[in-house]
Amino acid sequence: MNTRLLPFAGFVLVLALLGFGIWWSSHHDMREVPSPLIDKLAPTFSLPLLEDPSKFLGSKELAGEPYLLNVFASWCFACRDEHPVLMSEGKRIGIKLVGFDYKDEPADAKRWIAQYGNPYDVIVADVPGNVAIDFGVTGAPETFLVDAQGVIRYKYISPLTTEIIARELMPRIAALKKASP
Answer yes or no whether residue 3 interacts with another protein by CB under 8 A: yes
3-state class (DSSP) for residue 166: helix
The site for another protein, by CB under 8 A, has a size of: 18
Contact flag: residue 33 with another protein (CB under 8 A): yes
What x/- string results for residues 48 through 87 when contact with another protein is judged by CB under 8 A?
A: ----------------------------------------
**Min CB(58)–another protein separation in Å:** 18
Figure out which of the listed residues 72, 100, 135, 154 binds another protein, where binding follows CB under 8 A.
Answer: 135
Q: Is residue 119 reached through a cis peptide bond, with omega within 30 degrees of 0 on the bond before it?
A: no
121 or 134, CB closer to another protein? 134
Of these, 54, 128, 163, 181, which contacts another protein (CB under 8 A)? 128
Answer yes or no whether residue 129 interacts with another protein by CB under 8 A. yes
Cα–Cα dist 117/102, whole Å: 18
Q: What is the dihedral of CA 55, 56, 60, 62, to 10 degrees?
A: 80
Q: In what order do the strands lie in the sheet with 142-146?
A: 122-126, 96-102, 67-72, 142-146, 152-157
Query: To the nearest whole angstrom, how small is the minimum distance from the Cβ of residue 137 to another protein?
Result: 8
Q: Does 136 contact another protein by CB under 8 A?
A: yes
Q: Is 114 in the site for another protein (CB under 8 A)?
A: no
Contact 72, 79 (CB under 8 A): yes
What does the longest C-alpha to C-alpha distance in the chain come to? 83
